[in-house]
């Protein structure tokens, strides 16, 4: 049976540990808008795999440290 997955992220926490990086800074480095960062942090938008890798690269961590999923 198909189970739904909820994508979660640690972007807010990672920003905090990256010298309190602003949403605007992250957006600029990942090549996206600040609104997209806000939507992702609020769990309202799940990025594409390509963008997920780009965000992980900004924080210099593995993609699984940024994004995880939960079966619902």
Partner 1 sequence: MSYQEKRTITSTVSGIVMLIAYSIFAISKYNSDDTNFDLKDWATTMLIFIGIGIVAIIIIQIVFHILLSISIAIREHERDDKEIEKRIKAEIVEDERDNIIEMKAARISFMLTGIGFMISLFLVVFNYSAITMLNTIFFSFLIGSILEGFIQIYYYRKS
Residue (8 or 35) nearer to partner 1, CB: 35
Closest distance to partner 1 from the beta carbon of 51 (Å): 6
**H or E element: which one contains 67?**
strand 67-71
Both tokens of 63, joined, read 């993609």
Binding site for partner 1 (CB under 8 A): 24, 27-28, 31-36, 39, 42, 44-45, 47-48, 51
Closest distance to partner 1 from the beta carbon of 49 (Å): 11
**List of E strands, the chain:** 5-9, 67-71
CA-CA distance, 28 to 70, in Å (whole number)?
Answer: 29
Closest distance to partner 1 from the beta carbon of 20 (Å): 18
């Amino acid at each position: 049976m198909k189970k739904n997955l909820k994508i979660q992220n640690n972007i807010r926490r990672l920003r905090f540990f990256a010298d309190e990086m602003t949403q605007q800074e992250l957006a600029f480095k990942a090549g996206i808008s600040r609104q997209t960062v806000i939507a992702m942090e609020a769990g309202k938008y799940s990025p594409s795999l390509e963008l997920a890798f780009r965000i992980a690269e900004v924080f210099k961590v593995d993609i699984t440290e940024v994004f995880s999923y939960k079966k619902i």
